[in-house]
Structure 1
Amino acid sequence: MEQSEEKVPENQERGILLMDNWPGYDLDLFTYPQHYYGDLECVLIPHGIIVDRIERLAKDIMKDIGYHDILVLCVLKGGYKFCADLVEHLKNISRNSDRFVSMKVDFIRLKSYKVTFVYVQIALSNFLLFAKDVVGTGRTMRALLSSIEKYKPNMVKVASLLVKRTARSDSFRPDYAGFEIPDVFVVGYALDYNEYFRDLNHICVINEHGKEKYRI
C-alpha cells in the first residue's frame, strides 16, 4: 500500500500528519496477537515508525532544555509505553553527549480532573515534562497544567504521542507532538479499549466487531 506525501505530510510543530483520508496499512502486512484477529480495521501507525518518531522527539527535547535536569511526569495509564521509550531515548542522548542531565520519572493518574503532586520534586525541578498518550479535547492537559501552577516549576512542557483532530477540541496544543491523527478510536501501544489491546505493539483502529466484543 503506497503512502503518498499528500496523505502523510510532516510538520515540525504538529508532528506527522495523518490526513482524514489516510487508509492505514493492511493488517496482513504485520504480526499482532491472534486473540485480536477480526477486531481491528487497520494498522494506523506501525510500531517501528512510532519508536523512530519518539527518538526524534527526544532529540528535540534535549536540544531545548540545555543543561536542565528533568522530571518526567507520565500520565497513566495509556502513556506508560510512550513515556518509557521517550525516557530511554533521553537517557541515551545524555549518555552519549558531553553533558549529563539528571532525570527522574514519576507517575500520575487523573480522576475527575483532580491531581495530587509531590511538591518537593516539582519545586526542585528545572524542567518538568508531561508525557501523555493522546491529546483530544485538551481539557485533561489544561486541568493538569492548572493543578501545578501553585508549585511554580521553572519550565513546563507537554509531549504527547498523538494529537487527535476533533470538533470538541479547545485548541490546546502540546509542545512536542508525535502524530496528528483523525478523530478515530485507536488502540495499541498501551492505548486500550476497556483495558484490552494494551499488549498490541502497533497503533491500530478498532472496528465495530472489536468494540462489541470487548464492550462492558
Structure 2
Amino acid sequence: MEIQILDKVFVPYILEEEIQTRLQTVAKQMMQDLGGETPVFTGVLNGSFMVLSDLMKYYENPCEISFVKMASYEGTQSTNEVKQLIGLDVDVTDKTVVIVEDIVDTGNTIEVLEQLFNRYKIKGLRIATLFFKPEAYTKQIKMDYVGFEITNKFIVGYGLDYNKQGRNLPAIYQIK
C-alpha cells in the first residue's frame, strides 16, 4: 500500500517483522563478539532511536547506552557536511563503543564519529547500522554489523524521516 508523506509517495520495502528478526540476529552476534565486556552503545539521533531501543531489547549482556545527535540531511539529500549537535554524556575511557546508526550511506557521519571517539582513550570502536547503502558509501571504515544492505534509494520509516515526518512508521518505505 502506497503512502504519501508531504509531496512524496512511498511504497512498502521492508516489513516490521523482518526488521525485528534481523535485530535479534545482530544482537546475538554482538553478545558473542563482545563477550564479558560492558560496551557503550551510542545511538546517533534522531534516526537511531527506534533501532537502538529495539536492539537493546534483544541484547542481554551488561551495557551502557548513550546518544549523540548529528545532522547531515536536508530533505532527501545529504548536505555532505556533518554537524555534531549534542555530545556524549558517559565516560568511554577503556570501553568498547558501539555506534548504532539507522542508516549509513555516504559514511560522512561515521567518519566524524570515528574522529570524535578517537579523541578518547577507548578500548575499541564498532559500527552497527540497520541499513547500509554500499553504492553510496565513500569511506574506508568497516561496518561491523549490518542489518540490511539496500539500494541507493531514499527510504523512510522506523526512525528515518522525510523532512521531519515518517519516523513513527513501524516498517520501511522506499520512495516511488
Q: Does 1:58 align with 2:22?
A: no
Give me the whole-angstrom Cα distance separating, in 1, the residues matched to 2:141 and 2:14. Answer: 23
Residue identity matched to 1:56? T
Whether 1:197 aligns to 2:157 is no
Please say if residues 41 and 205 of structure 1, whose CA atoms lie closer than 8 Å, have aligned partners that are also in contact.
yes
Q: Which residue of 1 aligns with 2:78?
A: none
Question: Could you list the runs of 5+ residues in structure 2 that have no partner in the other structure?
Answer: 72-81
- What amino acid maps onto 1:108 in structure 2? V
Whether the aligned pair in 1 keeps the contact of 2:132 and 2:149 (CA below 8 Å) is yes
Of residues 117, 127, 131, the one that matches 1:148 is: 117
Query: For 1:172 and 1:113, how far apart are their aligned partners in 2?
Result: 19
Give the match for residue 170 of structure 1.
139
How big is each residue's C-alpha offset from its partner over 1:62-91, in whole Å with a ceiling of 9 and x where there is no partner?
100110012111100011100001111103
Post-superposition CA distance 1:81-133 (Å, at most 9, x none)? 00001111103xx3xxxxxx2x2111111254446334x52115x32111101
Q: Which structure: larger Rg?
A: 1
Aligned equivalent of 1:105: 65
Hey, what's the Cα distance between the residues in 2 that align with 1:60 and 1:168? Answer: 23
DSSP-derived class of the 1:196 partner:
coil
Report the Cα distance in structure 1 between the residues aligned to 2:104 and 2:116, rounded to whole angstroms: 17
Tell me, yes or no, if the aligned pair for 2:111 and 2:139 is still in contact at 8 Å. no
Name the residue aligned to 2:91: 121
* Residues 123-182 of structure 1 deviation map (CA, whole Å, 9 limit, x = unaligned): 15x321111011111121011011111211112111000001334623443110000000
Structure 1 unaligned blocks of 5 or more: 1-26, 29-33, 95-100, 208-216
From 157, 179, 189, give the equivalent of 2:148.
Answer: 179
1:44 Cα offset (Å): 1.2
Find the counterpart in structure 2 of residue 157 from structure 1. 126
1:47 aligns with 2:16: yes
Please list, as runs of the form range in 1=range in 2, the aligned pairs for 1:68-79 lying within 5 A after superposition: 68-79=37-48
Provide the rounded CA distance (Å) in 2 between the counterparts of 1:171 and 1:46.
30
TM-score normalised by the chain length of structure 2: 0.84
Do 1:136 and 1:165's aligned partners in 2 also have CA atoms closer than 8 Å? yes
The structure with the largest strand share of the pair is 2
Closer, same or farther in 2 for the Cα pair 1:168/1:162, shift >3 Å? closer
Equivalent pair of 2:40/2:66 in contact (CA under 8 Å)? yes
Alpha-carbon distance change, 167 to 49 in structure 1, aligned in 2, over 3 angstroms: closer
Which structure features the higher share of helix residues? Answer: 1
- Identify which range, 60-69 or 126-135, moves more after superposition: 126-135
- What do you get for the CA RMSD once the two structures are aligned? 2.3
CA 1:152–1:52 in 2, change beyond 3 Å: closer, same or farther? same
Distance in 1, Cα, partners of 2:101 & 2:151:
18
TM-score of the superposition, structure 1-length normalised?
Answer: 0.69
CA contact (8 A) 1:138 1:173 kept: no
